[in-house]
Structure 1
């Protein structure tokens, strides 16, 4: 980092939510300096420096907890099916996890306007308390409705309060490096989705499910204290009231169609997260011990899928990279039709985790790139996350209905469903690109 960048970061880091003083600039009169700045036009982001990368570290810990736990639900599902909720059907139990996605993303509608008005600390504090309390309640549950209330509703609300700040704040501190910085922060989800399932698998047999979940709750508390201590917004609090759902944003055709693309993709994206272990045992003949590790293996593959595509997106264009990986993901989904061996399924899990990962990390910078008014970035992200949450809610139950009885299930139909969703989503995003720059291929967009 050169001295010029360090100085720029030092200046920018003073623009915090609790700072009412304005920076002085050469050639600006004192009377002008005393005038309040328009929060819709914040200074250019430092695009690096200690404070900027500290925001990435804070966001990383949030992603470690939120998406790490959300993507670990397959392991919860296994425990519930075989022990705690063994009298309930698999599809009924699956609603706990899929509905938790919806609750998390739906809450982002409300947290977006709050974040745009500067209430970062409030969101992080309240979200941490609600999340930890929800996990502690999960450790006390015995019946289905208790798990649904504690894990789906309560913990889902806590996730929603802290998830959007992690997605939005990083974008405020970077410009050209924003996709890569967001990619680094989202790798936290990959690490969390490896660690949490392994914890559940190994600790539950030794100390029991209740204390395993309590330990996870203490982990969330410790890491979230770090995030709350280091994260900062770059503009002061704005007392202007914001609409929770501003329908005016839906007049932006590019934004709406992009959200439709993400919605369609999430109809298929998480299906393999839920069913890959079952496919390995029922179709590929894998033993149960190997199948239990497929979800962590898939999430481990997504680690580099958050980094490399996001780095490429910064150089060659967000939509360009997303479209390419969308095509690859669709083709890979159809390739599973020919994979019938345990080794092949393991290889599929690693590669699928990598090529599908950009659909978690790239929508954030794509939405902000389609939103020229930086003062409403969080609001727009919150609305788009709610739309994505509907896709996550619907997709896996629909795939389960297509599959039917797993022992005589329609695995071809489930795989085709995923592949078609990837290709359809890619076609819709290609439409957005065409509307923005026309049919020019060699354009960074």
Structure 2
């Protein structure tokens, strides 16, 4: 580690210790400095990348499941009813993180990875046998969602333990796995369902997740020492830290609008831009392809110029881009919008993790705090898309303008709230890395 990195580490450490609103019971763990690189550290990134490939890759692919359910398996159900399978799966995954956080803080990494993998694969296999709505909801939303939640938090938390100044970049690389998964899985569903049928397509996906998760379980290791102290599942004392609380509020508001375009951009392209159905089916993979670079470049910039600084800038750009869709009425324009939106909105998935840990002075509760913040984010993901769907309305009177304004306002409101956190931490200084 060079002298500049040591200087940054010391500044970050002093800033964390100076947090005046942290719960008084928390004590700074003076662990040795993380290696900030090396073979074992990057193995954790590889393992976390694999988990993100499966969890967020499949969660962000639900739009393709929605198309299959609407046109075939659940064609007697309304589109909004079917959408609850995917949006509630997000919530279940993020809520489970409340319980996995304390377990991870006490050192039970491989217990979570093992049980989570079994539950996730079992849920996917059960999806392949479903025929009615309640069966899909139980198997895909509840069982698979619980499996996702058990393995998602370890991927988010463990990487932070192995890096200091490179934490944003390392997390960005690991979260980029979600973009690749969300490209591959929808294309698999699109291509294989017509050739071998939906049940065997889902079974193949289940076997893929099993094989890749065996790799993740083999390489991932907890670095921060075990803390045997019993933890509350929900410890409200953490919300006494005003910076942490307001940052969680910012993430919640953003997720009210973030995934709306994931669900509705294909429909917008067909109805407003006159896009061909076959091309519209590939807009979700195109969006996720754009998000791949959006997980990497902004996170690299955040390591150099500050986490919140970069997040605020990309939040402003995302809000402006959302409003720009009001004037886009052609297929080429929608495709360009989809790529750019995937890029500029991606930091809202990758940067909240290092932002939360940077606001948490006690490393031994990082997983607990991440779990609580994920639960808050989950409610935003649950509410946002159904609200947007209600704004859009039925086939006879679509309100696309209202939906677009909803997303743009959520981005700007979230950015304003995060700017408040930054101001509370460092004042009105502009050129400060924070």
Q: Same fold (TM over 0.5)?
A: yes
1:112-191 alignment runs, 5 A limit: 112-191=101-180
Number of paired residues? 411
**Counterpart position of 1:368:** 357
CA distance in 2, matches of 1:383, 1:214: 32
| Aligned-partner Cα distance in 2 for 1:156–1:43 | 36
Verify the 8 A CA contact 2:224 2:364 in the aligned structure 1: no
1:44 is displaced (CA, Å) by 1.1
Q: Which of the pair has more CA radius of gyration?
A: 1
Task: Give 1:55's aligned residue.
Answer: 44
Q: Which residue of 2 aligns with 1:427?
A: 416
Partner residue of 1:333 out of 308, 322, 326: 322
Return the alpha-carbon distance in structure 2 between the equivalents of residues 175 and 46 of structure 1. Answer: 8
Give the C-alpha shift of residue 405 in structure 1: 1.2
Q: Alpha carbon RMSD of aligned pairs, Å?
A: 1.3
Which has the larger displacement, 403-412 or 195-204?
A: 403-412
In the TM superposition, what whole-angstrom CA distance separates every residue of 1:64-121 from its partner, at most 9, and x where no partner exists? 0000000000000000000000000000000000000000000000000000000000
Are residues 241 and 39 of structure 1, via their aligned partners in 2, closer, same or farther at CA, if it must alter by over 3 Å?
A: farther
State whether structure 2 residue 57 is matched by structure 1 residue 40. no
1:252 aligns with 2:241: yes
* Aligned structure 1 segments of 4 or more residues deviating by more than 4 angstroms: none
Q: Distance in 1 between matches of 2:246 and 2:386?
A: 24
Q: Secondary structure at the match of 1:48?
A: coil
TM-score by length of 2: 0.93
Provide the C-alpha distance between the structure 1 equivalents of 2:50 and 2:395, rounded to a whole number of angstroms: 36
Whether contact under 8 Å (1:41, 1:375) holds in the other structure is no
Deviation at 1:41, TM superposition (A): 2.8
Question: Is 1:195 aligned to residue 184 of structure 2?
Answer: yes
Look up the match of 2:285: 296
1:1-80 map, 5 Å: 40-80=29-69
Deviation, structure 1 residue 408: 2.6
How far has the Cα of 1:43 moved from its partner?
1.5
Provide structure 1 residue ranges, at least 5 long, that are not aligned to the other structure: 6-37
Equivalent residue in structure 1 for 2:252, among 245, 260, 263:
263
**1-structure distance, mates of 2:73, 2:148:** 24
The answer to whether the Cα contact below 8 Å between 2:224 and 2:363 also exists between their aligned partners in 1 is: no
What TM-score, normalized to structure 1? 0.91
Q: Which residue of 1 aligns with 2:90?
A: 101
CA contact (8 A) 1:282 1:407 kept: no
What's 1:399 paired with? 388
Residue by residue over 1:372-426, the C-alpha shift from the partner in whole angstroms, topping out at 9 and shown as x without a partner, is 1000000000000000000000000000000001453000000000000000000
Q: Aligned ranges for residues 227-242 of structure 1 at < 5 Å?
A: 227-242=216-231
1:86 corresponds in structure 2 to: 75
Alignment of 1:444 with 2:433, yes or no, is yes
Aligned partner of 2:99 in structure 1 is: 110
Decide which of 272, 277, 286 is 1:283's aligned counterpart.
Answer: 272
